[in-house]
């Protein structure tokens, strides 16, 4: 696995990040534990989560993935995991789409939705105006790949 530093911190995280959006709905707790164990074994120490994950599933309220990650971490003697979540009051999808819309070479990003609610949320991205540095920083990072 390749690793990179997080800004000017001492954190070293894997170049691949494990998204935990399936934990608590399409991946039950036992499967989620197995996925995190296999990811760690493969060298992935960077996990992404958000309390909105699985909130669209009937019977879930959101936060299921965080609860599963917490129970998994509680069983471990070492805490060598970097956990990221979403910040900045808008869905991450809005930021990603707004960044794409700011690119001169992209005419129209393609969106997909499984529900009307997801479509409604995605459409809101066109109203998000990113600051110059919120556009240039991801551009710089994407050029390094």
Beta strand segments in the chain, E: 3-5, 12-14, 18-19, 46-48, 82-84
Q: What three-state secondary structure class fits 43?
A: coil
Of the residues 23, 46, 53, 72, which is catalytic?
53
**Rounded Cα distance, 5 and 52, in Å:** 27
CB 18 within 8 A of CB 53: no
3 an active-site residue?
no
Give catalytic residues, as residue numbers.
53
């Amino acid at each position: 696995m390749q690793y990179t530093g997080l800004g000017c911190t001492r954190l070293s995280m894997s170049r691949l990040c494990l998204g935990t959006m399936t934990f608590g709905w399409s991946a039950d707790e036992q499967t989620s534990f197995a996925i995190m164990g296999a990811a760690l074994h493969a060298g992935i120490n960077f996990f992404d989560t958000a309390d909105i994950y699985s909130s669209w599933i009937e019977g879930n309220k959101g936060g299921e993935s965080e609860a599963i990650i917490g129970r998994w971490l509680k069983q471990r003697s070492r805490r060598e995991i970097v956990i990221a979540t979403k910040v900045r009051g808008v869905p991450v999808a809005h930021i990603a789409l707004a960044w794409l819309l700011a690119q001169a070479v992209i005419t129209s990003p393609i969106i997909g939705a499984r529900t009307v609610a997801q479509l409604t949320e995605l459409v809101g991205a066109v109203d998000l105006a990113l600051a110059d540095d919120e556009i240039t920083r991801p551009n710089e990072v994407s050029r390094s790949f």
